[in-house]
Structure 1
Amino acid sequence: LSDIYTILFAKWILLQEVPDFETKVNEDYTEIHFYNKHADIEIVFNPLNIIEFKATNTQSGEIEYYLHFQMKTLNHAIKLFKELTHYMKHIGDTPTVKILLCCSGGLTTSYFAMKMNEASKLMSLPYVTEASGYNNLYYVAQDYDVVLLAPQISYLHAKACDILKDKIVLNVPPEVFAKYDVKAIFTLVKDSLEIKKNQSDQKIPLPVMLDVEIKHKTLALSIFRNKQSIHVAYRVYDKNQEILLNNEVIKPTVNLQDICDIIDIARLHYPRIRYIGIATPGIIDDGYVSSTSLVGWETPERLEDVLTERYHLPICICNDVNAAAVGYYSSQDKVSSLAFLFQPIHAGSGAGIIVDNCLLHGMHNLVGEVQF
């Protein structure tokens, strides 16, 4: 029936009216595109009835929504399509790149910031610019993607780069600043964003230094927030810790069924997976998950039991920040104690603390860690 459901689903999609989007379909109906000036929505029908949804912001080039699932029921597929179309309405609503223009006091950059905003609106560019004095830079910079330093404080570039390690920090050339050359600034920002994107695409996973014996294929999932979206990164490892499958799902909300879809897809490609590990936001106490923003994640039963009963595999669920601390600790052999502090912009903070080679869980995986 999955074959029939997939054909019906493709025909059903083509009958749907999606306001403000044009539709394009290839000859064999394996790819359907909805597109406008803000977004390109791609729906691909793969072998084994695996369906992919991908939404790309055409202004920034970023993939803002991505998931895949295997067709099981029409009801589930239609629900996912409606989630996608709801999200499509909001792509391009807000600028995707926030720029902070900084000088010694903020006065000389305010006019330049105003001219940049006028130009980005006129040119339909996804940039919004604000001005700030250097004294406030390190308090507000976390809310911005790019920091531009005016020529009078260009000597502070090295210090700013050292403190704002995950931000793009650039010096504005004096001739550009003097002429308020908005076009040159936008070119500088665009080129720097492209370089950063290429560098992030080439990151090599940290090696695991601990001597851990793995006899079978393992599936690892990491759930985390990034701006307004939730990402589920997942990998399949073989017994030699080589990565066999490396993918990611991006959605505004994630629920238990989304996690099950990912596990189903991974097991479809690698049926011999024998262990599943999940790192998730929230408090994990004896297999129960609480205080998390994931829909359907807090169940009356132990979540580990729910998933174990479904897949008949050993499943480990742990806090995401603890997993990050253990992951980094496992990749090095220089220190036996460390603290990993995580402070996302729009969510609660967390800490993963290892003392003398042992991860501290605290009472009920919540309290008692801070004393260390």
Structure 2
Amino acid sequence: MYTSDLFKKWIIDHQNDDYQINVESEQTIKLTTSYGEATIQFTDVTNGTIVEFNIISYKNQEVQFYLHFELNDENHAHQLYDEMIETLIGLKDKKTTRVLLSCSSGLTTSMFADNLNSVVEMLGEDYHFDAVDYSNIYEQVENYDLVLIAPQIGYMLKRLQESLPDKLVLQIPTATFASYDAIGAIKFIQSEIENYNKEKKEEQVKKCHCCKKSNKRILSIVLSTNRAQTRIYYRVYDKSTIIDQQTIIKASLDMNDLYDIIDTVLLKHHTIDVIGIATPGIIKDNQHLRSSIDGRDQDIKNEFEKKYHIDVFIYNNANAAVVGFSLEHEEYKNIIFHSQPFGFGVGGQGILVNGQVITGKE
């Protein structure tokens, strides 16, 4: 069996010039760079060891990578470690805060962007500014950390904020833009970023609205993908009360990540009665077809039930979302929920007609 002592020794032996390793305790190892920090946490439980990988970017203090797994397979542990290292080193290319400016034609903001780039270079600030006309914002925004729109298209601010919930979207103060006050604009951006990050940290965990009470212990897993990263959200409910929840953040995803979640949850909580999985892709008779995760056709239900001897239910993510919404809003019987992963041209829809999910032709 692969032990935590062997894994720790392997980690220390694989140090290189890209990061510095600090062994803080028997349970914690940290890998530091000038642009981010990775933490490796070892937690001993009754029947094994849980390992957690976590990466924080210094640019915005946000989690860029997180996963956990049961330590029992050497090759699997090394593979996940290498994936974490790739993400940590990749932060070097993302340390500059990229700002996208936009106005009706892109002309005035282009001149302002040139002015801003000259000033930040002189000040030694890690920012880069580009400009586009407003019709191209959605095509370009994926590669930027925040969006600044000119006052003349301020009417678009609310719409952009709603359609880009993971981006900071701001309107340039009128006086700042009219005078091309680059110093004032930079101070405005820095202040707004600080407030934005503070508000995100202070957001309370949303309460569970369990419309249907259950006496079972349920593991609920939701897979979400976009071009930037992949996330897996999971919660453990015990008699409709949340007793555990976490978000796995990775650059890519395969089925082993689901096994790692289930293995870790079972190590911590010992028993699970039901597993529910909401995932992109086509679902037929609880068999996951044409997976958007790894492109394979895979019978997730039977594979998991065979290994864990737990009832497993698989749902299309858009269908699961529309059903969840309908349970909280019984006044609506006809609902369309559209899921559009950022950076992809094709999304999915969950459709409820007269209270019934429409699944379409096979």
The TM-score with structure 1 as length reference comes to 0.85
Deviates most, 347-356 or 171-180: 171-180
**Which residue of 2 is the match for residue 90 of structure 1?**
90
> For each residue in 1:181-239, what CA deviation from the matched residue of structure 2 results, as whole angstroms up to 9, or x when unmatched?
334333433443444445455255465464x3412111001110144211011000121
**Which residue of 2 is the match for residue 250 of structure 1?**
249
The answer on whether the counterparts of 2:141 and 2:147 sit within 8 Å (CA) in structure 1 is no
**Which residue of 1 is the match for residue 116 of structure 2?**
116
> For each residue in 1:155-181, what CA deviation from the matched residue of structure 2 results, as whole angstroms up to 9, or x when unmatched?
x25664576463543222233224433
The answer on whether the counterparts of 1:322 and 1:353 sit within 8 Å (CA) in structure 2 is yes
State the shift of 1:289 in Å: 1.7
* Alpha-carbon distance between aligned partners in 2 of 1:282 and 1:137, rounded to the nearest angstrom: 29
Question: What pairs with 1:36-115 in structure 2 (closer than 5 Å)?
Answer: 36-48=33-45, 49-94=49-94, 98-115=98-115
- Give the 3-state SS of the residue equivalent to 1:93 in structure 2: helix
- Give the 3-state SS of the residue equivalent to 2:218 in structure 1: strand
1:333 aligned onto 2:330: yes
* Alpha-carbon distance between aligned partners in 2 of 1:330 and 1:198, rounded to the nearest angstrom: 33
> For each residue in 1:19-72, what CA deviation from the matched residue of structure 2 results, as whole angstroms up to 9, or x when unmatched?
32122121x332212111122111111222211111111112121111111211
- Give the 3-state SS of the residue equivalent to 2:37 in structure 1: strand
The answer on whether the counterparts of 2:59 and 2:97 sit within 8 Å (CA) in structure 1 is no
**Which residue of 1 is the match for residue 279 of structure 2?**
280
- Give the 3-state SS of the residue equivalent to 2:267 in structure 1: helix
Question: What pairs with 1:346-365 in structure 2 (closer than 5 Å)?
Answer: 346-347=343-344, 348-364=346-362
Distance 1:44 1:207, change over 3 A: closer
Distance 1:356 1:47, change over 3 A: same
1:312 aligned onto 2:289: no
- Give the 3-state SS of the residue equivalent to 2:26 in structure 1: coil
The letter of the residue matching 1:23 is I
Distance 1:278 1:36, change over 3 A: same
The letter of the residue matching 1:238 is D
The number of equivalent residue pairs is 355
Distance 1:57 1:352, change over 3 A: same
State the shift of 1:88 in Å: 2.5
Distance 1:43 1:138, change over 3 A: closer
State the shift of 1:330 in Å: 1.6
* Alpha-carbon distance between aligned partners in 1 of 2:263 and 2:124, rounded to the nearest angstrom: 41
The TM-score with structure 2 as length reference comes to 0.87
- Give the 3-state SS of the residue equivalent to 1:249 in structure 2: strand
State the shift of 1:311 in Å: 0.7
Deviates most, 57-66 or 192-201: 192-201
Deviates most, 180-189 or 75-84: 180-189
State the shift of 1:326 in Å: 1.4
The answer on whether the counterparts of 1:206 and 1:331 sit within 8 Å (CA) in structure 2 is no
* Alpha-carbon distance between aligned partners in 1 of 2:223 and 2:361, rounded to the nearest angstrom: 23
* Alpha-carbon distance between aligned partners in 2 of 1:131 and 1:14, rounded to the nearest angstrom: 45
- Give the 3-state SS of the residue equivalent to 1:269 in structure 2: helix
Distance 1:323 1:226, change over 3 A: same
**Which residue of 2 is the match for residue 9 of structure 1?**
7
Q: Which ranges in structure 2 are unaligned for 5 or more consecutive residues?
A: none
The answer on whether the counterparts of 2:36 and 2:57 sit within 8 Å (CA) in structure 1 is yes
Question: What pairs with 1:64-213 in structure 2 (closer than 5 Å)?
Answer: 64-94=64-94, 98-119=98-119, 127-134=127-134, 136=135, 140=139, 143=142, 145-154=145-154, 156=155, 160=159, 164=163, 166=165, 167-200=167-200, 202=203, 205=206, 208=209, 210=211, 212-213=212-213
* Alpha-carbon distance between aligned partners in 2 of 1:291 and 1:188, rounded to the nearest angstrom: 47
1:31 aligned onto 2:28: yes
Distance 1:312 1:160, change over 3 A: closer
The letter of the residue matching 1:150 is A
The letter of the residue matching 2:263 is D
* Alpha-carbon distance between aligned partners in 2 of 1:74 and 1:163, rounded to the nearest angstrom: 44
The letter of the residue matching 1:287 is N
**Which residue of 2 is the match for residue 370 of structure 1?**
none
Q: CA RMSD in A?
A: 2.7
Distance 1:305 1:340, change over 3 A: same
State the shift of 1:91 in Å: 1.6
* Alpha-carbon distance between aligned partners in 2 of 1:213 and 1:160, rounded to the nearest angstrom: 37
**Which residue of 2 is the match for residue 369 of structure 1?**
none
**Which residue of 2 is the match for residue 298 of structure 1?**
297
Q: Which ranges in structure 1 are unaligned for 5 or more consecutive residues?
A: 365-372
- Give the 3-state SS of the residue equivalent to 1:68 in structure 2: strand
- Give the 3-state SS of the residue equivalent to 2:108 in structure 1: helix
* Alpha-carbon distance between aligned partners in 2 of 1:258 and 1:159, rounded to the nearest angstrom: 37
Distance 1:44 1:338, change over 3 A: same
* Alpha-carbon distance between aligned partners in 1 of 2:263 and 2:305, rounded to the nearest angstrom: 13
- Give the 3-state SS of the residue equivalent to 1:267 in structure 2: helix
